[in-house]
Amino acid sequence: MTESHSHRLRAIPPMQSVLQTHGARALASLLPEVALKQALQQALDRLRAELADGSVVLTDREALLALCDARLADQAAQLRLRPLREVLNATGVILHTNLGRAPLAREVIDHLGDACVGYAALEYDLTTGDRGHRDSVTRSLLCALTGAEDSLVVNNCAAAVLLACTALASGREVIVSRGELVEIGGGFRVPEVIASCGAKLVEVGTTNKTRAEDYRRAITAQSAALMIVHPSNFTVQGFTARPTRESLAAVARESGLPLLEDLGSGALVALDALGVGHEPTVQEAVRGGSDVVMFSGDKLLGGPQAGILLGKSQWIARLRAHPLMRALRPGRLVLAALESTLALYASGRATASVPALARMHRGVADVSQDAENLLAKVQSSLGPRWRACVRPSIARVGGGTLPIAALPSFAVVIESQPESDASVVGLEAALRTAREFPLIGRIDAGALWLDARSLGPGSIEHAAQGLALALVSAHNRSMSGLSMSAQRSLDESADD
Ligand SMILES: *Cc1c(COP(=O)(O)O)cnc(C)c1O
């Protein structure tokens, strides 16, 4: 070790003084003592290594202490960021599975506070003082909205299918069309789910054509149920046929078997007016004679993650009594959010107030105006290095629903000026990693597209603030392989 090197190392502040810095005190309020000591030790070790290799050339103890302080304060600020803080979704995919699917309405959040701050009558009947059922929280609304006799809520739609097939078909056969052996994404494949329930899958028909008669012929003494699976994330076109729900319900009734229907997306209002084709509603499935209808709470319904089962009481009662129910039941956070989302439907305000539905139904002229507003707010931050304009774009419903539906939209499109050092990839990364309101867009042909439909009018202001900051800071960030592959994986799994 040279003389000057050891001299430099002597300038490292003692632990005692590091402990007194603002940064260390901020960390101390967030970490248990052992972890705090570790963090301080690491900060000093890092400084020592940097002095040794010359990457830090300060020689005065006060300056080193200030550097340490700033780094610890930064670490504390990072720790304070909640991993589940609000993210602005400018991807153009409204129900983005990676971004938590449906945003909840403000009214729902307020209700959540009321229902969860103290105790709540979750399994308690306030009028009689007797023990109640937690599904009664949502049952009357679900039955009133859909015409079903009874309902149950579980953790998600995958859990609903698991419960129905286990409780009604374990050790026996479930009859499904070959055209409906769907993979939803995230490892949910209908044949595997049925097998994991201890049931045997009996495939009928062909990929493109299946008739009610195919199901009837497959029924044996071993049959437990007929199941319809909504092919929610793909379409088959051309020479195709699917039996009507009514004809399958008739086959099921003749043989005394239940007709199960995995609807997946679970629309409670018809979406035909959007011009996106026909998505079957829950009410249609109930009216059409399905005995147990299953769907997600956070797809087209626009509520919290949940799985809803509803239909004839004879079958729902058997599901409620099954031991697996105990493992799949949701907590009161979910039930409160679901109940207040359903209340928006009951009062006829769903299309305007359920955020996912409001984004889908927003008129294209309004979406265009939202994009223009965003552009106007950042115009003065573009400087000489960036150019931006509003262009027509296509938004998607997402969440594995309405796979070919295109919702007309508009996006703010940002490009670097030719010859400038501005990097679109760097800008995308700066927006995504922003401390406040991370903003997720998509890169297409070298430009960053920020879709105004998925963003929603309530997020324009926050998006503008983040964008103004990032436009200034995102120059020298070079293209990183990580951010490209991260973008790609986000695109791929958007439709789970
Ligand atoms: C999305 C979907 C599921 C899974 O729903 P989760 O709520 O995500 O578990 C199951 N079946 C179908 C047909 C779906 O579209």
Domain closes at, from 349, 369, 394: 349
Domain annotation covers residue 492: no
**74 and 92, same domain (yes or no):** no
Q: What is the pTM of this model?
A: 0.89
Q: Which domain holds residue 92?
A: 88-96+359-482
pLDDT for res 343: 97
Whether residue 477 has pLDDT greater than 70? no
- Ligand 1: does its nearest atom lie under 6 Å from the Cβ of 232? yes
Average pLDDT over every residue of 451-474: 94
Q: What is the pLDDT of residues 372-413, one digit of tens each?
A: 999 999 999 999 999 999 999 999 999 877 777 899 999 999
Instruction: Work out which ligand 1 atom sits closest to the CA atom of 233.
Output: 15
Residue 278 Ramachandran class (φ > 0 left, ψ -120 to 50 alpha, else beta): beta
**342 and 386, same domain (yes or no):** no
Average pLDDT, the chain: 92
Whether residue 110 has pLDDT greater than 50? yes
295: closest CA among 232, 350, 251?
Answer: 232
pLDDT for res 58: 83
**387 and 339, same domain (yes or no):** no
**259 and 289, same domain (yes or no):** yes
pLDDT for res 26: 96
The residue nearest atom 14 of ligand 1, judged by CA position, is 264
The confidence band for 484, taking pLDDT boundaries of 50, 70 and 90, is very low
Whether residue 109 has pLDDT greater than 50? yes
- Ligand 1: does its nearest atom lie under 6 Å from the Cβ of 356? no
Domain annotation covers residue 44: yes
Domain closes at, from 290, 317, 349: 349
The CATH number linked to 405 is 3.90.1150.180
Whether residue 488 has pLDDT greater than 70? no
pLDDT for res 475: 53
The confidence band for 323, taking pLDDT boundaries of 50, 70 and 90, is very high
pLDDT for res 483: 43
Lowest mean pLDDT among 259-263, 425-429, 434-438: 434-438
**442 and 315, same domain (yes or no):** no
- Ligand 1: does its nearest atom lie under 6 Å from the Cβ of 230? yes
Domain closes at, from 306, 324, 349: 349
Average pLDDT over every residue of 56-75: 92
Long-range contact set of residues 134-139: C-beta below 8 Å, sequence gap at least 24: 134/329, 134/332, 134/335, 135/320, 137/335, 137/336, 137/339, 138/308, 138/335, 138/338, 138/339, 138/342
List C-alpha distances in Å: 280 to 251, 252, 286, 343: 21, 20, 11, 21
Instruction: Work out which ligand 1 atom sits closest to the CA atom of 97.
Output: 8
Instruction: Work out which ligand 1 atom sits closest to the CA atom of 399.
Output: 1
Domain annotation covers residue 491: no
Domain annotation covers residue 487: no
Domain annotation covers residue 488: no
d(CA 305, CA 298): 5
**114 and 92, same domain (yes or no):** no
The confidence band for 496, taking pLDDT boundaries of 50, 70 and 90, is low
Domain annotation covers residue 325: yes
**364 and 331, same domain (yes or no):** no
pLDDT for res 277: 82
- Ligand 1: does its nearest atom lie under 6 Å from the Cβ of 296? yes
Number of domains the chain contains: 3
